[in-house]
C-alpha cells in the first residue's frame, strides 16, 4: 500500500498570497509554517517566497511576536538562575572592526555580572566573534551546556557558539534568507535575534543596533525601528531589554581582521586601545550593570587596574586557549597611501570590511575557512589632515591575488575634502521599554 502523506492544516501557498497582499497571518498559521519548514513539509522555494512577501509588506507587531514565539518553540530553553550572580546578555547587529564582545565579557565578569555570550561567525563584510577568538591557539567555541555553565561559574562569563537545540528553526530560516536576498527586513532580523536571546534565558539584554555604511541596515531611522521592535519583543516575553543605536559608518577602532582584533581587544583590557572602542565598551557595560542591579558601579577602573585582564586570561584558559601564545601574523604587508592632500571626510566601513573579506579575513559562504592572519590596520580617522603619500591603511595577507584585490578596494575607502567634517556621535540614541508605544511595526 502506498504511503499516505500527512494532511497539513494549512496550505503554504495561501499564506504566501495572504502576505503578498499585505494581510496579517494568524497565530496558528505562523506557528504551523515555522514548524512545517523545519520538518521539511514546506519547500525552501515556498519559504523564500513568504520571506520576500514579508520583506515587501512587513508584519504587524503581533505577527512578529508570534513568529518569534514559534522559533523559540522549535527548540530548548536555557536557564541561568542559580549562578549566584545576575546573568545579562549583549547582542550586536554586526559591523566592521566590532570586537567589543572580547573586552566586554571579561570586564563584566570582573564586576560580578554573569555574561552567557552566545556568538556567531562572520559572513561577508562583517566579522564574527568566534572567528576572532579562534585566532588564539587551542581556544574552543563549541561547548556543551554543562561546559558553558562551568565556565561561567569559574570565570563569570563565557563566549561560545549556540548549541543546535537553541531555536533550531532560525538556523534553517537564516541560511535560506542569506541566499535569497531577504536578510535586511526588520521583522525577520528582530525575530531571528530575539528568538535565540529569549530562549537563552538571561535576566536582561543590551542590544547594540548599528547604522551606517558598514551595518546591515544603513539608515538611522530603520535602525531605530529595528531596535524598538526588539525591545518590544523583549518586553512581551518578560526579558528586560535596552538598545543603543550606534554609528557604523566608520570601522570601530583601528584593527579589522581576526587576530588583529584580538590584539586590539587586549590593548583595551590593558587600559589602552582606541578611544571609540573604549567608549562603546564602557557604554554597553554601564547598561548591562544597570540591568544587573548595579547602576552605581563604574566599569572604567577595572580596565585600568588589571581586573578585566585577569578575567580575560581565565576565560581564554577555561575554553582551552593559551592567552600567552603568539597570534597569527601575515608576513606580507602593503600600505595604501593618499594620492592627494586634504582632510579625511569619512572612512567607509563597508569598503574596509569588503577589502578585509577579500584578503581572506571573512567568508562568502557558511563553512568557508578564514585566514586569521589577514586584516587591515586603519591609520586615519575622519577629521585627520593627510598629505599626498601619507599612509591610510596597512594590509596584511600572504596570498598575492588576495592582496591585489584588497588593495584595490581599500584605496576607495577614504574620502578627502577641504574642510573638517561635521562630528558624528558614536552613540546616536537609546531605546528602552518606556519609549515604546503599541503601534504596529512595518517591514
> Active site residue: 90, 125, 171, 196, which one?
196
Answer yes or no: are the C-beta atoms of 231 and 196 closer than 8 Å.
no
**Can you tell me the distance from the alpha carbon of 252 to that of 236, in angstroms, rounded to the nearest whole number?**
32
> Active site residue: 177, 313, 314, 350, which one?
177
Name the one residue in this structure whose C-alpha cell is 550572580.
85
Residue among 195, 193, 203 nearest 116 (CA)? 203
Q: Exposure of 18 by Cβ count < 10 A (0-12 exposed, 13-18 middle, 19+ buried)?
A: middle
Catalytic: 196? Answer: yes
Answer yes or no: are the C-beta atoms of 107 and 299 closer than 8 Å.
yes
> Active site residue: 66, 131, 170, 290, which one?
170
Answer yes or no: are the C-beta atoms of 190 and 233 closer than 8 Å.
yes
**Can you tell me the distance from the alpha carbon of 381 to that of 182, in angstroms, rounded to the nearest whole number?**
33
C-alpha cell at 399: 596570498
CA distances to 24, 70, 168, 189, 205 from 74, rounded to whole Å, are 22, 6, 6, 17, 21
Catalytic: 90? Answer: no
Catalytic: 10? Answer: no
> Active site residue: 192, 195, 213, 265, which one?
192
Catalytic: 177? Answer: yes
Name the one residue in this structure whose C-alpha cell is 559572513.
123
DSSP state for residue 181 in the 8-state scheme:
T
Catalytic: 296? Answer: no
DSSP state for residue 374 in the 8-state scheme:
-
DSSP state for residue 426 in the 8-state scheme:
S
**Can you tell me the distance from the alpha carbon of 13 to that of 3, in angstroms, rounded to the nearest whole number?**
24
Helix (H) or strand (E) holding 174: helix 168-178
**Can you tell me the distance from the alpha carbon of 336 to that of 402, in angstroms, rounded to the nearest whole number?**
15
Residue 117 pairs in a beta bridge with 159
DSSP string, 194-218: HHHHHHHT-SEEEEEEEESTTSSS-
> Active site residue: 61, 65, 90, 91, which one?
91
User: What residues act catalytically?
Assistant: 91, 170, 177, 192, 196
Amino acid at each position: 500500500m502506498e504511503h499516505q502523506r500527512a494532511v497539513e492544516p494549512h496550505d503554504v501557498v495561501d499564506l504566501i498570497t495572504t502576505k503578498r497582499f499585505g494581510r496579517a497571518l494568524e497565530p496558528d498559521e505562523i506557528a504551523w509554517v515555522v514548524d512545517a519548514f523545519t520538518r521539511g513539509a514546506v519547500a525552501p522555494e515556498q519559504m523564500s517566497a513568504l520571506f520576500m512577501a514579508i520583506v515587501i509588506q512587513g508584519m504587524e507587531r503581533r505577527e512578529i511576536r508570534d513568529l518569534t514565539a514559534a522559533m523559540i518553540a522549535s527548540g530548548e530553553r536555557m536557564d541561568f538562575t542559580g549562578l549566584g550572580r545576575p546573568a545579562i546578555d549583549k547582542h550586536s547587529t554586526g559591523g566592521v572592526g566590532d570586537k567589543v564582545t572580547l573586552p566586554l565579557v571579561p570586564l563584566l565578569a570582573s564586576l560580578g555580572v554573569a555574561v552567557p555570550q552566545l556568538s556567531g561567525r562572520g559572513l561577508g563584510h562583517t566579522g564574527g566573534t568566534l572567528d576572532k577568538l579562534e585566532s588564539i591557539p587551542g581556544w574552543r567555541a563549541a561547548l556543551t551546556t554543562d561546559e558553558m555553565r562551568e565556565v561561567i561559574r569559574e570565570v563569570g562569563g563565557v563566549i561560545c557558539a549556540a548549541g543546535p537545540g537553541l531555536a533550531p528553526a532560525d538556523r534553517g530560516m537564516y541560511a535560506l534568507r542569506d541566499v535569497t536576498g531577504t536578510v535586511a527586513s526588520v521583522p525577520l532580523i528582530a525575530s531571528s535575534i530575539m528568538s535565540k536571546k529569549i530562549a537563552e534565558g538571561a535576566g536582561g539584554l543590551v542590544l547594540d543596533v548599528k547604522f551606517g555604511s558598514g551595518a546591515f541596515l544603513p539608515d538611522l531611522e530603520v535602525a531605530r525601528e529595528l531596535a524598538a521592535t526588539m525591545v518590544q519583543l523583549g518586553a512581551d516575553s518578560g526579558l528586560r531589554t535596552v538598545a543603543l543605536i550606534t554609528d557604523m559608518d566608520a570601522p570601530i577602532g583601528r584593527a579589522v581582521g581576526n587576530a588583529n582584533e584580538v590584539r586590539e581587544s587586549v590593548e583595551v583590557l590593558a587600559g589602552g586601545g582606541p578611544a571609540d572602542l573604549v567608549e562603546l565598551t564602557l557604554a554597553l557595560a554601564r547598561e548591562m550593570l544597570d540591568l544587573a542591579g548595579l547602576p552605581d558601579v563604574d566599569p572604567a577602573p577595572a580596565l585600568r587596574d588589571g581586573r578585566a585582564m585577569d578575567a580575560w586570561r581565565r576565560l581564554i584558559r577555561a575554553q582551552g586557549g593559551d592567552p600567552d601564545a603568539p597570534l597569527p601574523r601575515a608576513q606580507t604587508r602593503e600600505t595604501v597611501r593618499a594620492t592627494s592632500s586634504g582632510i579625511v571626510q569619512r572612512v567607509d566601513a563597508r569598503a574596509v570590511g569588503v577589502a578585509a573579506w577579500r584578503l581572506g579575513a571573512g567568508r562568502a559562504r557558511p563553512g568557508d575557512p578564514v585566514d586569521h592572519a589577514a586584516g587591515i590596520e586603519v591609520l586615519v580617522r575622519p577629521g585627520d589632515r593627510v598629505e599626498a603619500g601619507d599612509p591610510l591603511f596597512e594590509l596584511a595577507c600572504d596570498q598575492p591575488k588576495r592582496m591585489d584585490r584588497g588593495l584595490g578596494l581599500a584605496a576607495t575607502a577614504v574620502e578627502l575634502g577641504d574642510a573638517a567634517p561635521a562630528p558624528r556621535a558614536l552613540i546616536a540614541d537609546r531605546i528602552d521599554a518606556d519609549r515604546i508605544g503599541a503601534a504596529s511595526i512595518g517591514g
